[in-house]
Amino acid sequence: MRRTVTTLADGRELIYFDERDDAVRDEPDRRDLPPPPPASQLRYDPLLDEWVTVAVHRQTRTFLPPADQCPLCPSREGRPSEIPAGSYDVAVFENRFPALSQRIVDEPTAVTPFTEIRPGAGRCEVVCFTDDHHASFASLPPRRVRTVLDALADRTAAMYELPDVEQVFCFENRGVEIGVTLHHPHGQVYGYPFVTPRTRAMLAAARRHAERTGGNLYADVLAAERAAGERVVAANEHWTAYVPAAARWPFEVHLAPHRPVLDLPALTGPERDAFGPLYLDVLRRFDALFDMPMPYIAAWHQAPVRVDRELGYLHLQVFSIRRAVDKLKYLAGSESGMGVFINDVAPERAAALLRAAAGPAGTVDAAGTAVAVP
């Protein structure tokens, strides 16, 4: 893989990850762009001990443009985009409308004695998986998934070096039902200046488990799910994909490496190679479930940068809000008001449906070959 770093017309960084070692990336960005916006505000919520990001400049971000005006497609004559090249494999660039950035301006220290304000320091990047506007992650070949994984590991390691970043979050939103603003297949990487509420809760549970048993909570849960087998959707030598026993979403799958790993940079070459075929298998089962593209969020859970790293366990959580062919799961009163999820689909039923969605239940090896589960 060849990695090429360049800059866009407004000074934002752009990185190409090419599968050909002889790729040349010297196309300049000739657009006349305004300067990037200053960093957002972080406002402290004392009632929940959480930070809320206020990023007013994102109100004007690009929203569902037609395909011929997509900012993530390669540039062409008379239609420059965020990617100056005429074609690319994987491209990563600083978000033009970032929720978090390093462009800090002075801010007041508090709104009230209880509500502190901080600059929204951090970094937000866009990861373009392919130059094909009409593709999806599920349609990528395993080699491209490996390139994407290498790019995410690269960006995770780079954000670790930023003094303000405490957690790196890689994710993909897919589908208008989820709320995407661009149809082109892409994901994002956020470098947060704090440990997020969900991760703090997971670390607290892991800490209690370690103090009580001496074990790693996620490793023990994964071992129990593999032993039970009822909720396992697919597996190979290095990874298992399963529906959590207490899944919150109608269709939710965790993909976890068998070896305890803290983050994406720590994955070995064989583990990275084995991930792609299994993940593609899971995504294709999602799409086959209702014979339509499944809206989903794919969220990588990694150990924080500095705090409680030893309690982490890398895994990918993939979940959909679709609960039936003509029904979506809305976060209504209980979920939005109280944070208490009510799942309409039993996790065991969801796992059985996903296993059946692509034929008999089976595993997928690193080459993409299906192998029946005993």
| C-beta pairs of 85-89 under 8 Å, 24+ apart in sequence | 85/16, 85/25, 85/27, 86/27, 87/131, 88/16, 88/18, 88/128, 88/131, 89/16, 89/17, 89/18, 89/19, 89/20, 89/23, 89/130, 89/131, 89/144, 89/147
Identify the pLDDT of residue 122. 98
Q: What angle do CA 165, 167, 168 make, to 5 degrees?
A: 95
186 labelled catalytic? yes
In this structure, how many other beta carbons lie within 10 angstroms of the beta carbon of residue 224?
10
Q: What is the DSSP secondary structure assignment for residue 188, as one 8-state letter?
A: E
Please give the structure tokens belonging to residue 39. 């960093």
Identify the structural domains of the chain with CATH numbers, from first to last: 2-194 (3.30.428.10), 199-372 (3.30.428.10)
Q: Using alpha carbons only, how large is the chain's radius of gyration in Å?
A: 21
Q: What angle do CA 157, 158, 160 make, to 5 degrees?
A: 65
Q: Which of 57, 133, 184, 186 is catalytic?
A: 186
CA 36/CA 102 separation, integer angstroms? 11
- This prediction's pTM: 0.95
Q: Which residue numbers in the chain have pLDDT < 70? A: 359-374
Identify the pLDDT of residue 360. 47
Please give the structure tokens belonging to residue 141. 């070949």
Identify the pLDDT of residue 363. 44
Q: What is the DSSP secondary structure assignment for residue 71, as one 8-state letter?
A: T
CA 374/CA 372 separation, integer angstroms? 6
Q: What angle do CA 76, 81, 86 make, to 5 degrees?
A: 40
Query: Would the CA dihedral through 173, 177, 179, 185 be positive or negative?
Result: positive
CA 97/CA 3 separation, integer angstroms? 24
Please give the structure tokens belonging to residue 13. 């960084």
What does the DSSP assignment read for 172-241? EEESTTTT-S--SSEEEEEEESS--HHHHHHHHHHHHHHHHHSS-HHHHHHHHHHHH-TTEEEE-SSEEE
Phi, psi of 36 (to 5 degrees): -60, 155
